[in-house]
Amino acid sequence: MRSLILGFASASLLLAAGVAQEGVRWWSHIQVLADDKMEGRNTGSDGHRRAAQFVAGEFEHAGLKPAGTSGYFQPVKFDVRTIDEPASNLALERDGKATPLELGEEASFNLRADLAARVDAQAVFVGHGLVIPESNLDELAGLDLKGKIAVYINGGPSSIPSALKAHYSSVGERWKAFQKAGVIGMAAIANPKSMDIPWDRAKLARLNPAMSLADKKLVDTEGMQFLITVNPANAEKIFAASGHTFGEMLRLADADQPLPHFPLNIGFRANVKLNHSQTESPNVVAVRPGSDPRLKSQYVVFSAHLDHLGIGQPINGDRIYNGAMDDASGVASLLEIATLMKERNLRLKRSVIFVAVTGEEKGDLGSTYFASNPTVPKKSLVADINMDMYLPLFPLKYLEVQGLAESTLGNDIRAACDKAGVQVQADKEPDRNLFIRSDQYSFVKQGTPALAFKFGYLTGSPEETLTKSWLQERYHAPSDDLNQPVDKTAAAQFNRILLDVGERVANADDRPHWNENSFFRRFADGE
């Protein structure tokens, strides 16, 4: 009895030592990827290319085969835009009188779209600007929007399921509905309650290069002439001629009441000078071939984004946006999961693809390209398991999963978490639209069931405070670097759970499928 207990104790100690070592190894990849030498891995930069070479080398060490179009690489072409801000301006027009809006302070042009050089158009407030047929919601109904600019507040009714709302809140889906109504551009106002990044920091990114895929078929903002983000602290003046106030709109939104829709009786006048160029940047793609003669032609995808924001506006004297958590952490997990498969000599029936995508920070562009032009037949991709900034800042007790209720992958992650003694949580903050805010969504739109993750916590807990202050202080800031406290052992536990999910999916008799009642099922035609 005694020796048995001792035996058990030493085995679990060994296990604990193993996971701690794995955590140190996981961090060692981040030390390379988030080093100042990688210069923040901006899409198209030399720093990103060096990081891509490193990842390809590590894929090779882990025994993975090249699965790009050129060895481990799948080059992707991008159109690049920067703004010449001194030669650009924005004004509010009321009764023929123009009042300038200070760029950066009051509003910023968003170069995600190829903006028109000159725009002069009336503005209409469209509430949250949502058109969701499944929820019988059409916030554009009955409005005259021809040639107008639609102004909206991010968010939407809490009665609408979060994944559905997230989908229709995406720029591409919004623009489809707006364009159909005759809208020529849009102005988004963030609800201060759900702003991840304080305006003072968010405004710095407006001077960074923006990109879209050079392949026009894959661009979701075609025809958009005007796109701005408005500082909510200065939004009141946009409502000044409408008979309503922004404060009133926010109160309604925060009380989950429907928002009214009305002409703002003001116009936006914009002159925009853009500089255009082109660049190329690779996705890094590798495969661990499956062992089953029939199932090996199906692929489970693990994805994470290698790009970050590069070198930008300095904060506290630091210009390098290292992106240690965003998303060197996810790429390090890719490398760890591949390495664990090799170390454990796993025989998996299906093949597993590991892809470190580029262009995520520019709008999920590398994953859009890969999911639309996969290097294996599209229908053979059975699942995407995406890891982006999952924030292992404390021990792993709760794992928040996006896409949990959408497909049979929800059962796999539940089973893996159960086994690891970790509790699964659904999306707690639907207004942050996390389901569409990373690369898993590119796969979802092509019909592939997907999951994404965050370290979870209970509301009001110290872990919530840690996560929220991380977002306030380090998210998309140069301080997301190697000098920050991270729970490496918890990250290793996360990696093991995802390895377990991958194993379950790769070895299951049936490929994963969308749940009967999932909205996203529609993208999987012919399934």
Shortest gap between Cβ of 2 and Zn ion (angstroms)?
53
Shortest gap between Cβ of 326 and Zn ion (angstroms)?
4
Task: Note the Cα 250 to chain centre separation in Å.
Answer: 26
Choose between 240 and 315: whose C-beta lies nearer to Zn ion.
Answer: 315
Stretch near Zn ion under the rule CB under 5 A, chosen from 74-82, 162-170, 184-192, 318-326: 318-326
What is the phi/psi pair of residue 306, to 5°?
-85, -25
Give the number of residues in contact with Zn ion, rule: CB under 5 A. Answer: 1
Site for Zn ion in 325-344 (CB under 5 A): 326
Residue 73 carries which DSSP code? Answer: E
Shortest gap between Cβ of 188 and Zn ion (angstroms)?
18
Question: At which residue do the structure tokens 């021809």 appear?
Answer: 146
Site for Zn ion in 143-182 (CB under 5 A): none
Q: How far apart are the first and last CA of the chain?
A: 54
Choose among 277, 261, 294: nearest CA to 114: 277
Distances (CA, A) of 430 to 81, 83, 149, 161, 433: 31, 32, 26, 8, 6
Site for Zn ion in 199-258 (CB under 5 A): none
Give long-range contacts, CB 8 A cutoff, 24+ apart: 469-472.
470/325, 470/391, 470/393, 471/196, 471/197, 472/197, 472/198
CA distance 517 to 107: 40
By CB under 5 A, residue 480 contacts Zn ion = no
Choose between 326 and 336: whose C-beta lies nearer to Zn ion.
Answer: 326
What is the phi/psi pair of residue 163, to 5°?
-65, -40
Shortest gap between Cβ of 308 and Zn ion (angstroms)?
7
CA distance 369 to 371: 6
Choose between 22 and 364: whose C-beta lies nearer to Zn ion.
Answer: 364
Choose among 247, 227, 248, 204: nearest CA to 104: 204
Choose between 326 and 503: whose C-beta lies nearer to Zn ion.
Answer: 326
Task: Count other Cβ atoms within 10 Å, centred on residue 441.
Answer: 29
What is the phi/psi pair of residue 414, to 5°?
-60, -45
Task: Count other Cβ atoms within 10 Å, centred on residue 279.
Answer: 18
Choose between 114 and 439: whose C-beta lies nearer to Zn ion.
Answer: 439
Stretch near Zn ion under the rule CB under 5 A, chosen from 108-116, 322-330, 349-357, 450-458: 322-330
User: What single-letter amino acid sits at 109?
Assistant: F
Shortest gap between Cβ of 92 and Zn ion (angstroms)?
31
Residues with Cβ within 8 Å of residue 57, at least 6 apart in sequence: none
Stretch near Zn ion under the rule CB under 5 A, chosen from 179-187, 280-288, 323-331, 517-525: 323-331
Choose between 326 and 412: whose C-beta lies nearer to Zn ion.
Answer: 326
Choose between 35 and 326: whose C-beta lies nearer to Zn ion.
Answer: 326
Shortest gap between Cβ of 434 and Zn ion (angstroms)?
12
Shortest gap between Cβ of 491 and Zn ion (angstroms)?
18
Choose between 22 and 326: whose C-beta lies nearer to Zn ion.
Answer: 326
The closest residue (CB) to Zn ion is 326
Shortest gap between Cβ of 325 and Zn ion (angstroms)?
9
Shortest gap between Cβ of 361 and Zn ion (angstroms)?
5
Choose between 326 and 481: whose C-beta lies nearer to Zn ion.
Answer: 326
Query: Crossing angle for the helix pair 2-33 and 46-61, nearest 10 degrees?
Result: 150
The residue length of the chain stands at: 527
By CB under 5 A, residue 139 contacts Zn ion = no
Task: Note the Cα 473 to chain centre separation in Å.
Answer: 19
Choose between 307 and 406: whose C-beta lies nearer to Zn ion.
Answer: 307
What is the phi/psi pair of residue 221, to 5°?
-120, 20
By CB under 5 A, residue 439 contacts Zn ion = no
Site for Zn ion in 10-29 (CB under 5 A): none
Shortest gap between Cβ of 34 and Zn ion (angstroms)?
13
Shortest gap between Cβ of 476 and Zn ion (angstroms)?
6
Choose between 326 and 427: whose C-beta lies nearer to Zn ion.
Answer: 326
CA distance 442 to 164: 15
Helix (H, G, I), strand (E, B) or coil at 469: helix
Stretch near Zn ion under the rule CB under 5 A, chosen from 49-57, 142-150, 216-224, 319-327: 319-327
Q: Which residues pair with 213 in a beta bridge?
A: 78
Stretch near Zn ion under the rule CB under 5 A, chosen from 195-203, 320-328, 371-379, 494-502: 320-328
By CB under 5 A, residue 400 contacts Zn ion = no
Binding site for Zn ion (CB under 5 A): 326
